[in-house]
Structure formats: structure tokens, C-alpha cells
Chains A and B, each alone.
Chain A
Amino acid sequence: MTVGAGTFSGTPVRRVEDPDLLRGAGTFVDNLKIDGMLSLAFVRSPIAHAAIRSVDVTAAREMPGVVGVYSAADLDLPDAPALMALHPAAIRPSLAKGTVNFVGDPVVAVAAETRAAAMDAAELVEIDYEPLGVVVDMEEALDPGSPAQFESLGGNVVIGLRTGSEDPLAGADVVVRGRFENQRVAVVPMEGSAIVVDPTGTDFDLTVHLSCQMPHVARSALAKLLGMDPKRVRVIAPHVGGAFGAKHLSAEGVVASKLALELGRPVKWVETRSENLVAMAHGRGQVQYVELGLRRDGTFVGMRCRMIGDAGGYGGFGGILVLGQTKLMAQGVYHIPAIAFDVAIVTTNTTPMGAYRGAGRPEAAAFVERIVDMAADELGMDPVELRRKNFIRPDEFPLTTVMGADYDSGDYGAALDEVLRLADYDALRREQDERRRRGDRMQLGIGVSTYVEVTGGGAEFSEVEVHEDGTITVKAGTSAHGQGHATAFSQIAADQFGVPIEQIRYVQSDTALVARGRGTGGSRSVQLGGTAVLQTSKLVVERAKELVAELLETAPEDVVVTGDGRLGVAGVPSKALAWGEVARVAAERGAPLLVQHDTERAGSTYPFGAHVAVVEVDMETGRVVPIRHVAVDDCGVIVNPMLVDGQVHGGLASGISQALWEQFLYDDDGNPITSTLAEYAMPSAAELPSFVTAHTETPSPLNDLGAKGIGESATVGSTPAVQNAVVDALSHLGVRHIDMPCTPERVWRAIAAAQAGTLPDPWREPRSEMAGFPREGAAGEELERGAESVNL
């Protein structure tokens, strides 16, 4: 590849991160060893809801190697950190106080010289629980008589609101109705939560190595909770083994920090896999009652949504997502003139809910795309034609939706055309017809989804410095944890400086090295962090040009970046200075080539796309095999197509998995029954088909790169395509809906019911309590704004 200004962006530069990872030179938290470091283990509640009668730690304290055993009463602990508090009454302590609210709730912390000693001692802690009533099901939690977690809430409803149109179905010729479950899933990053807190350093009062997505956010939160000066706290996010929205300062992290300070020794806590499945926040978890009104010709008239969001124990902040991103994106890619959106957010005695890849947007796309397919079925229209008929057109952008979203740009028809072409949709339909005619055991299902989601928004920081040896240090306030920012952001900078990518040193994820930042979440990084790097690089180049103009006695406008690592006079190849030389002179004059810069706050961008999923359904067993998946995702202008495809591949795997495999389950008493990876159905590559990925590139007008997010898009788009494909495979039998995950048993039951003529109605009225909620007021709007700003 020839090196020069503008030659890296848009090309599949190989990941500069991989050599370290492949050679085992990773810096993951658990690799860290510090002299005198203690290990922490937690005793967690085995009961979903109970009063803590007594805690006896005597035997545990006497175990060899144990330094201390602590319950909430022994430590002056702050509350657990929350990215957003749902209700002032629903507060989670860092260790359980008085009651436990879910299986996995940490009650006692054991600090010991080794991890094994801590775990052995944890076994000996005796806790006397008095069981309380349990509510596991989010709809049962609507019942005012259901056993409440917080007496002052007077039930389990944390937020109940009615919003939007009063009569959205007026004027409809046809109304299709469905009750959809968007099931609870576990996040399951390869590396669970992990933290090392070191109070023994000299430069900082506390140095925290935290497996997280947003080190600066974690530092502010920790300093505030512990009453410390943020400047005296350093947070480092080293190599992070996946986060997917769920990795932040946790309750356990606060306990580890407090103990490190109390004991004056470094403390390590690394979650086990079984802990991770109950302790890390879960995602999704909505029940959606959706009614779509249409004219006979397929034109959408209005939609009524009544939604229940599960917040889990203590009112986990993820419960708010139904009122945030799910509501914001309820209109999807369509014109829907009137929408009513009523919401109940409830606590249940389950793992607290948080953000998981897509955080509210997959839940929106899932119900919109499902009800549109049901409508196509009802009207006897091809689902593709019904979609096209109602698309927002490319010439309508920018556009403020009925839900108040400011869609920046889009061409939904182009993405759909492309995906149908790549999938050879007509041929697939022909094959489906043939299989149906022959009565094949393996029937074909074809599922389409067209989606839009919301990413980014806000500002970001970058710093760029040219050194005298010609290398360039680039920093950004985002914090990659697998995405490849070091590669992509170096590409952006290298293009501005006209240097080889090896000349860029990329620095991130350390509050001592990067002045400020918002971290990585909500697919924000390239569009905000990347734009910050671009703008900051340009500012440095500008400053250098002025200096070079002076040195070479020409006008700044005539100075160009040569593309071979120099700055020269346009058209005069002999007159040029290397970057290192320019940096040296700049330093001599007391104004080094270093710029710190924050982008202006930008609005959110709206990536979109179209997916076609093809599945085979075994009509005897109900087993579903995904055999093809074609994804056309538009994330605006692409910096590195290989990195984008990596994000798409991972996103597809998680999205397909929600449709077919994953679900975190509890029994009626609130005991998790999928708490190891033997039961929790994480798929592997063996279960997934090869992916066909392609892109349309509709630039966003909101940032200099024209980029939109891609980290979550494929997750948003794939789930409904696959679910629609499963239902489509059985639609000739009259099947109209199957909830996710579409397990073999569920699919078999649908087939059996269709054959017996006993198919259940996909609709029933939601519980009556929802009708009694107040209509949206100022408080509701404030909550919504808060919810929308939780951008993960």
C-alpha cells in the first residue's frame, strides 16, 4: 500500500491490536500481580427474596489466609453505582442491607491472601434468611398485591406512564394485534467483571484497573461514591474481554475499592463464570402488546403499544430502556402518523437489568418488524411490498419522527433492494413454494427486516502530538474493548499527516494519560472519538503549516502534506521538512505540536439496514437451522471495512442467538435455571451459517467523517429477520407468531397446534393496571430525556 495523505481511510488495514493479543501479551485485569495483593470472594444470596436474620462470620474469619470477612454492617459503604436511578425509593446498596432481592445478591465479602482461601472461607459464612414472597414474572409484578421489594413504592411498579396519541387506531380498516416477549438474556462476555484496586501507589491515592467501557465515567463515579478527589483517582481499562454494554463500575467494585482503602493493600476481584451469569446485569426483558392499524391497501394509520419493562432486582437501570430507546425508535423506518406508547417498568426478584448490545433498540425493531410481518400476512401482501409502501423516503431527511427522534439521513429502499438482490429473494420464494408443494420434512422460512437504530450523540475529546522523532501520539476519550480503535483512529490520523500507520502511537483507556472522555458505548466511538481525532489532527497540521510557511518562506496556503512524511511547498518537491524536524522547531519555540480538542456536541446518528434470514424448520421435531443470513447495514462512511465486518459478524451472532437460542430462565421461586453455560444456550460458530455482509453508505451530515455507529446495528437487524423467518416457514399452516427464543419445543408446539386446529391467538389484552397509569407529564418527560441520554 502506498503511503500518503488520504490512503488509509476506507481500506481494510489489519488490526494493529492483534499481535499482542495473539502472542499472549494481553494486559487483562486477572493477569495483574501486585505484591501484597488480596483476593476477594463474595457470599451471594441463594434465595430470591428474603430478610437477612443474622450473619455469622466466625468460622470464616478463622480460616487460614483470611484477612477479613465483612457484611454491610461492618463497612461504611456507599450505595451501588447506577448509570441512572429509576426511582429514589429503589436504591441498591453495595452489599445487601436487611433484605436480599435476587439470587446472586452479594451479602458478605471475604478478603484473603489467595483466591482459593477466600472461596473456602466464603463457604463457611452462615446467613440466616427468612424467605419473603417472590415475584419473577414482570406482568405479575404489575399486581399491586405482588410482594414488593421497597415498601415505600407500594408495589413493584417503578414507573407507570401513558404517552402519545389518545386514539391511534382511529380510521383503520384493519388492526393486527400481537403480544410479544422480548426475553431476558445474559451478556456473557468472554471475560467477566474484573477489578484490581491499588491504594499503595505514590502518584495517586487509588489506582484502579477495571475491565470496563468507560474509565473516565468509572473514575467520576468512584470518586464521588468514596468522597475522593477525582484527580487523586486513576482508572485504567486494560485489555477488556468484551463488555457489550454491561461493564461498568459494579457494586462489587465499590466493595473492593472500599476494602483496599481500609486495609491499605491492593485488592483483586475476578468474577467466576457462574457468578457472571447471575451478578452481571442482564439485558432485554420486555413484554410488548402491539396493535397496528392499517388501511386495506396497506398504508399504516397508527399504532398502539403497551409495554412492560423488567428492571429486575432493585430496579436495575436497564428497566428504563423501554421508555428510552425502545420508545424513541418505535416508529422504525416507516410513516406511522399516530403512536400511543404506554409503559410499565417493574421490579422483579431477578438479576438487575442493564444495557446489552443495542440496549432498547433491538427491542423496538423486534416488535415493529414482527407486527409489520403479521400485518402483511393478514392482508395477504408480500412483507417486502408492505414495508416499501410505508418507508420514509430518502428526500424526507432530516426528519423528526412522531416519537421525537431526529433522523439524520437514510435510504431504506436502497438497503432493501440490495439485500433482496444478494439473497435472490424471488428464487428463495420459489424454493419455498416447491418445498411446500412437495410437503418436505424440511420447510424453508424467509425472514425480512428493515430497521433503523440510534447511535452516538454528545461530544468527545482527543489529543494529538507530533514528536521530534517523527512519531505521532494520538489519544481519544473513547475506550476500545475489542473494536479496534487503535487501528481505525490511527488510519484517520495517518491520513492527515501522510505518514505510515506504524508512526502513530495510539493511547486510550487510562485517566492518567487521557485528560477526559466519555468512553465507548452506544456505538459512539468512530463518529465521535474518530471525528475528534480527525479535527484535532487537522488543527495540528494547520499549526504546522504556519510554522513551515515561515521556515520555508512561503504562504501557509501553499504548504502541503506531501504523503511521504513531510510538509512541503506545493509544486516544489525539494522544499520540504520532515514532521520530526517541524516538531523540533516547534518545541524550541516553546509551542510544541500538541493540540487538545473537544468536538462540539453532535446529535445522534441513525444507522439502518435490511436483513434477509433463511431458516430450515424440521417439521417433525421443530428444530430450526439458520442456513443463510444476508445483512446490508448502512453505517454511513466506512473507515475500515474489515473492522466494520467484524462488528457485523459479532452483532449477527448475538442477534440470531436471541431469536433462536438464548434465554435466561428462573423457576417460580426465582432460582436461576440457566446459571452455567451448559444450560444457558450461548451458541458457537458451529450453530451459525456463513454470513453475507454488504453495505450501502449514506453519509451522516452530523459529523466530519460522515460516520454512524455499527457496533450494534447487526444485532438490531438480525433478530427480527430470523424470528420472521421461523414464523414464515410455518405461515402456510396458519401460524402467525412464535415467541423468542424459537426453541425446537416451541416450534414443534406451534406445528402441532396448527395441525390440530388449536393455534392460540397471538393477542390478549394486557393487565388492567396499565389503563390506570397517569398520562405523561413533566416528570415523565424528564425521565424520558434521562432514559434517552443513557446511551449504551
Chain B
Amino acid sequence: MIPAAFEYARAESTEEAIALLVEHGDEAKLIAGGHSLLPLMKLRLATPAVLVDIGRVPGLSYIEERGDEIAIGALARHHDLETSAVLKEQVPLLAATAHQVGDPQVRHRGTLGGTLAHGDPASDLPAAVLALGGTLVAQGPNGRREISALEFFRGFLETALGADEVLVEVRVPKAAGAGWSFQKFNRRAQDWAIVGVAAVVNGTTGVALVNMGSTPLRATAVEEAVRSGASVVDAAAAASHGTDPPSDANASSEYRRHLATVLVRRALEEASS
């Protein structure tokens, strides 16, 4: 419960953070809200030699309208998302999903950038960003680049971010008036989802799954079924196609497949009602 020794550097700007990452290479790790990284460090499952703290970099906590998108700074906390008037109006799915993360303490510390960069398949917000078809902006020594959410999650706790890149912004299309649903199934209020489903119905249908494989997943089989006119029940039956859900103390993979079917059906029903 006490992390191994590490050096600590507080970055005052994104550029400084990137410079520190370049300087320390593999040894360094960014820390934002610390609510995924610190638990791993306390259990000594992560032992970074240098922590580069971006938590106080100014100007990265915005939530603003930009054309037909909403742009969100990587340091916006879950609490900022769940209480944002703009989000509630334009992308209620994201606000509602943020409200389901952990408990109030977690939501006051954890950041949107952190939860995406961590790439945990069991986390909630990545699925919402996936279902919405969001765009992520990474900044490195050579400037900024955009990554589609669909391309971002590469493997278990692995993303498309380079070792010297900072995730600086997340953009999602405005969807005022769209149907949406976030279904989270867990045993205790503050738990991660055993299975979760994010859905948006806005002309097209976007569906993403929590904890059904090694990354946050887009439920492409469900989306295709909906596109080709399948009923909600039939589309939901495809919920676990192409997934590889884990078995753990909470649920077997068989049960997760069953839950995915039920929860996708409920999500589609709610989003289309």
C-alpha cells in the first residue's frame, strides 16, 4: 500500500510534459487524476521511476461547443462531465455515463483523458466515446494528431498513444435530441461494470460494450443488424458476436455474454423510445 520510490515532476504546460516524457523515456509515466495509476502503484503492480504530473496544466479542463462537435479538454474531471450544462444538452449520454463512474470521490479526481489513456476495458467513459464515434487529439514532440476513437484502443491497457504523447482533447459529435442509453450492470454501486452498454440512436445507431473483451469494444454486429433492419431483440442477440469476455470472480464469460444480450436490448429499447 506504499508505492515504490519514484521521482516527481510537475509539468506547467503540455509542452513541458512532452519534454519530460522525451527526457525520461520508458521510465516516465504521466499522472492526471491518479485514480487508475495510483492504485496500481500502491500494489506495486506499476513502478514508474518518474511521475510527470499534468494534473495542474492550465487550460485543459474545458467543455465547449465547436461547430457541430463538443470539445473537451483531457483534464476535465468526471464530475465536470456529469454536471456540464452543455453536455447535458448536447451529448447527454456522456454526462450520464460520467455520473455512473465509481463514487463522488473518484469522479472528482478522475479525468476523461486519464480514463481513455488507461484503456481499461472495464471503464465506462471509453464505451460512451466509442458509441458516439468520438475523435481524440494527441500532442507529441512533432505537434498534434487526431485519432478516431475506433482506432484508439489496441489491446489490454494499450492505446494508440505514443510514449511521448499527451492526450489533450476529446471531441464528440453534438447529438441533441438523439436517443441514448447507458446500461451498467454491477453488484455494488461503486463497482466497475460487470458488463456495460452505451448506445446512441441518431439516424445511425452506435453501440459499445464495457468489459466484454480486452479493450472497450464497438458492438459492430449489433450495429450492422440494426442497419439491415433487424428487430431490437434480434439485433441484441448479436451483442456478444466477436467478443471475448473474461471470466472472473464476478461473472463467467458465458454469463457476460448473456448479460450483453439483455443489456443491449434494454439499451436499444431505451434509446429508441
Residues of A within 8 A of B (CB): 115-116, 119-120, 123, 272-274, 620-621, 623, 661, 665, 673-674, 676, 678-679, 681-684, 686-687, 743-745, 748-749
Contact = CB atoms under 8 A, between A and B. Distances in A.
A687 B250 CA distance: 16
A120 B4 CA distance: 7
Please name the 4 residue pairs, one residue from A and one from B, whose CB atoms are nearest each other, closest first: A686-B189, A272-B1, A745-B255, A620-B262
Interface of B: 1-2, 4-5, 39, 43-44, 185, 187-192, 194, 248-252, 255, 258-259, 262
A674 B249 contact: yes
A274 B258 CA distance: 32
A676 B192 CA distance: 14
Nearest to A118: B2
B258 A681 contact: no
A684 B191 CA distance: 11
B2 A115 contact: yes
Contacts of B4: 120, 123
B190 A684 contact: yes
A687 B249 contact: no
Given A272-B1, A274-B43, A745 B252 contact: yes
A620 B265 CA distance: 11
A528 to B, nearest CB: 37
A402 to B, nearest CB: 40
A683 B188 CA distance: 6
Given A686-B188, A744-B187, 11 more contacts: A120-B5, A272-B2, A274-B43, A665-B249, A674-B249, A684-B190, A686-B189, A744-B185, A744-B194, A744-B251, A748-B255
B190 A686 contact: yes
A403 to B, nearest CB: 36
A681 B262 contact: no
Contact of B258 (A272, A273, A679, A748): A748
B19 to A, nearest CB: 29
Contact of B251 (A119, A684, A686, A745): A745
Contacts of A661: 187-188
A150 to B, nearest CB: 30
Nearest to A664: B249
Nearest to A745: B255
B1 A123 contact: no
Contacts of B187: 661, 681, 687, 743-744
B163 to A, nearest CB: 25
A621 B187 CA distance: 12
B2 A687 contact: no
A623 B190 CA distance: 16
Q: Which of B1, B248, B252 has the most CB of A within 10 A?
A: B1
Contacts of A748: 255, 258
Contacts of B2: 115-116, 119, 272
A272 B42 CA distance: 10
Given A123-B4, A673-B249, A745-B255, A621 B188 contact: no
A661 B250 CA distance: 10
A683 B258 CA distance: 25
Given A119-B2, A684-B189, A621 B262 contact: yes
A743 B186 CA distance: 11
Contacts of A119: 2
Contacts of B262: 620-621
A495 to B, nearest CB: 43
A272 B44 CA distance: 13
A679 B39 CA distance: 13
Contacts of B258: 748
Given A116-B2, A120-B4, A745-B251, A684 B259 contact: no
A679 B188 CA distance: 11
B1 A274 contact: yes
A684 B249 contact: no
A274 B42 CA distance: 10
B43 A676 contact: yes
A745 B255 CA distance: 6
A687 B188 contact: yes
Contacts of A749: 255
A273 B1 CA distance: 8
Nearest to A272: B1
14 contacts: A115-B2, A620-B262, A665-B249, A674-B249, A678-B192, A681-B187, A682-B188, A683-B188, A687-B188, A743-B250, A744-B185, A744-B187, A744-B194, A745-B250
A674 B188 CA distance: 15
A674 B187 CA distance: 14
A623 B251 contact: no
B263 to A, nearest CB: 8
Contacts of A674: 249
A273 B262 CA distance: 36
Nearest to B192: A678
A380 to B, nearest CB: 33
Contacts of A744: 185, 187, 194, 251, 255
A745 B43 CA distance: 29
B249 to A, nearest CB: 5
A661 B188 CA distance: 9
A748 B251 CA distance: 11
Contacts of A273: 1
A623 B188 contact: no
Nearest to B266: A620
Given A745-B252, A748-B258, A684 B188 contact: yes
Contacts of B189: 684, 686-687
Nearest to A752: B258
A115 B2 CA distance: 8
Contacts of B44: 123
Contacts of B5: 116, 120
A112 B194 CA distance: 41
Contacts of B43: 274, 676
A665 B255 CA distance: 18
Contacts of B255: 744-745, 748-749
Contacts of B192: 678
A20 to B, nearest CB: 25
Contact of A679 (B249, B251, B252, B259): B249
A193 B166 CA distance: 42
Contacts of B251: 744-745
Nearest to B251: A745
Nearest to B190: A684
Contacts of A682: 188
A745 B248 CA distance: 12
